[in-house]
Amino acid sequence: MPVFEPIDQFVLAQVMSAPYLGAEEERELVQAFQETGCTRARDRIVLSHGRMVLKAVKKMAGYGMSETDLFQEGQIGLIEALKRFDLGKRGEVEGDAGPAAGYRFATYASYWVKAMLNDFIMRNQSLVKMGTTAVQKRLFFKLKATVRAIEAEFPHLPRKAVIERAAVQLNCLPAEAAAMFDRLSNADTSLNLRVGESEDGAERGDFLVDPSDTPDVVVGRKIDNERRGSGLMAAVAELDPRSRRVVEARYLVDSDDVATLETLSFEFGVSRERIRQIEQKALQKLKRALSRPAVAPEPLSDGEVAVETIAPATKSFQIAEHAVVPANEEVDPAKVKHFLGLGMSASSIAAEIGAEAADVMAVIAQQNMRRSRMAHAA
């Protein structure tokens, strides 16, 4: 946030002593700038309307911004208005009266000055970007005043109820009003701010908790995934050639290259149902092979426990005892479906979610069967 700085006294004196412009002189200066880019005409218009900018800046005093910065931003708004002002809408024809007849430059420029000041305050109020929508901008400039008015009228009303009433008045959701009120009520705090008075003491950022896994957990998971992958490939190698071909074509390739039951039935000269039976039997064999305890089992990582049984993915899959699965973690069909959509194979998905490849394959088989039933029903 900019440091507060009052407007320079010399600049202030120039602004306050600048003469007002008459309607005809104003028209000539605007025309000279728009047609020829005359800087002297521009400067005279900007200086003569400096009081209007100064008045708008004083209204923004409650935001703690530098008056010098705000005044300069307001002058930029004046220049932008000068570029866009349409002389044809001034309504200078004799006999015209009222707003409908037209307006002077000051009326048009006031909207540009206010808009530039509002944008400047929104950009510099906080290091965190805020006020990116029309609702947020409205809340930023009106919420606190609305809350104060409601609290003055209903002094015993709880803060939550006050925020809800303010949301109704400002035409927004209570959650939006509550979030903006929290932002406005709490100033930004640097993570580099030291805790305590010692210069070499800890900073606030040192106390932030890192939610990611520790290096030993990451390494342990990688070792476990590699072990699962090698175990799966060894189990697949034990299948007969036809079963191995079906499993590899259905589960161990990227999802874009997965073979359909019809493709495999044509390749082996059998029915689709026969291919499905071969697939189911092969998956059962893989389940049994992967769940057999090794002669000298490797120690489990902290993220795994040995359990007696695993709940079957379908009735077709009977899982042997002493299977190893991640602690307190089941294969999530939604995750499997998501990674399949990304083109990942069953073994890659298993490594990604920390599950047994056979369990992932069982979920994929179940999803395939469900889609097949829906297709037949249709």
Q: Are residues 232 and 357 in the same domain?
A: yes
Name residues whose C-beta falls within 8 Å of residue 136's C-beta, 6 or more positions apart in sequence.
Answer: 130, 176, 180
Q: Is residue 206 part of a domain?
A: no
User: Do 8 and 35 sit in the same domain of this protein?
Assistant: yes
What pLDDT, on a 0 to 100 scale, did the predictor assign at position 208? 75
Q: Report whether 163 contacts 174 (CB < 8 A).
A: yes
Tell me how many domains the chain contains.
Answer: 3
φ and ψ at residue 95, rounded to 5 degrees: 100, -15
Amino acid letter for position 121: I
CB neighbour class for 166 (10 Å; exposed up to 12, middle 13-18, buried from 19): buried
Residue 293 makes CB contacts below 8 A (sequence gap 6+) with 322
Q: Is residue 209 part of a domain?
A: no
Contact by Cβ (8 Å): 290, 357: yes
Residues 251 and 304 in one domain: yes
What pLDDT is stored for residue 292 in this prediction? 67
d(CA 50, CA 78): 9
232 and 340 together in one domain? yes
The CATH number of whichever domain residue 106 belongs to comes to: 1.20.120.1810
**pLDDT by residue for the chain (378 residues), tens digit each?**
445 567 778 888 888 888 988 988 999 999 999 999 899 999 999 999 999 999 999 888 777 788 888 999 999 999 999 999 988 765 443 333 333 346 789 989 999 999 899 888 888 877 666 667 788 888 888 888 899 999 999 989 898 999 999 999 999 899 988 988 888 777 666 667 777 666 666 777 777 777 777 777 777 777 766 666 777 788 888 889 899 899 888 887 776 778 888 889 998 899 999 999 999 898 888 888 877 655 444 444 444 443 333 333 333 333 333 333 333 346 788 887 777 777 777 777 777 777 777 777 777 777 776 666 666 665
User: Beta-carbon neighbour count of residue 279 at 10 Å?
Assistant: 21
Note whether 89 and 224 are same-domain residues: no
Asked if 35 and 96 count as a contact pair (C-beta separation under 8 A), the reply is no
pLDDT at 374: 66
Residue type at 84? Answer: R
Q: Which domain holds residue 308?
A: 215-377
Say if CB 45 and CB 19 are below 8 A apart. no
The identity of residue 190, as a single letter, is S
Per-residue pLDDT at 200: 66
Residues 111 and 158 occupy one common structural domain: no
pLDDT at 127: 64
